[in-house]
Amino acid sequence: MHDAARPPLLESVPNVSAGRDKGVVNELIAAVDAGIVEGAALDDSSAVLADVHVDHDHDRTVFTVVGRGEALAAALEALAATSVELIDIHAGHGVHPRVGALDVLPVIALDARPQAGAGDAATRDAMRDAGRDAAHALVERLAAYLGGELGVPAVAYGQQRDGSLLANAGFTGAVRRGGPASVAERIASGELELLAGPRSPHPSAGVTIVGVRSVLVAFNVDLATDNLDVVRAIAASIRATAATNDALPGIRALGFLLDSRGIAQVSTNIERPSYVGPAKVLDTIVRLAAEHEVEVVQAELVGLAPGATIAPLRYACTRLGVPLAAAPQPSLDAAAALLLP
């Protein structure tokens, strides 16, 4: 039976707008670690900082934290406070769009995954419902902390409690549309939902996009070209919304130039990885790049991914001769297993 006394297992993948200053990144890591210890002491819960992905070109660090109860909540609050203290959003120079020092703060209910449940249907349903409720409760707490304690507007995105996506804010790109000035105007007009905090951005930390989402895979593919038109065309072709034969369900994609390396990148979010995984995305990008006579030089997993997607990706990389950059242990399932039962 489902243990109602045990807090559900959650994942959070905060995206912080700092990836070039090693000192700042190290302070952020230390804040998460300290928060885990302090929170665990309050309710005997646990959490683990499973991965830290630092990207110089994006000037961005992606943290993967898996845990329960106060250990997870305190870790995320500590990261938020340190981000606001140390990062000036106006000083960032990364290629990735951003609107805040702590740019995105998603919460994912791991117990809500189809493969997470065990036993009969009633047990699985109870785990799913408890996980979703816990994810939304943590989002509400984090939003109140950002808006109240830190003075940073917490803008809602992602899923509502019934699982449907918020209008105008189902994913981060919809929130960031038009850049920071547009986001500020859309908060003021009420187009974007403000969970907590002032109706104008924090002077140095901007706003934070906060919400519940499902498990996704962040996956980048680097191309041996500095032609931005080519990489943008490939990204546009594979998006789920594209009117092309190459459109892939659940794929969001952008094209960037990585000046430090003189190459370009197709950066994707794979929102339905059990249906279209990174192996399929890589296959498609390699084919489209070849049509432009461009070589693919590397594939990259950002953070962790469902275990079932990793072996097919490794095989695709071997078959296509594309090196894979990934965490030493890139399986989200392996990270979750550290905290089970």
CA distance 228 to 171: 24
CA distance 205 to 38: 25
More confident residue, 117 or 297: 297
Q: Could you give the angle at the alpha carbon of 224 between the alpha carbons of 219 and 229, nearest 5°?
A: 80
Give yes or no for a cis peptide into 201 (omega within 30° of 0): no
pLDDT in tens, 312-332: 999 999 999 999 999 999 999
Sequence ranges of the chain with CATH classification 3.30.70.670: 217-336
Give the mean pLDDT of 131-136. 95
H or E stretch at 287: helix 278-291
pLDDT in tens, 147-203: 999 999 999 999 999 989 999 899 999 999 999 999 999 999 999 999 999 999 999
What class, spelled out in words, does domain 217-336 have in CATH?
A: alpha beta
Please report the pLDDT score of residue 194 as a whole number.
Answer: 97
pLDDT in tens, 51-70: 999 999 999 999 999 999 99
Sequence ranges of the chain with CATH classification 3.30.990.10: 10-214
Are 269 and 254 in contact, with CB atoms under 8 Å apart? no
Please report the pLDDT score of residue 121 as a whole number.
Answer: 75
What class, spelled out in words, does domain 10-214 have in CATH?
A: alpha beta
CA distance 145 to 141: 6
**Does residue 114 carry a pLDDT above 90?**
no
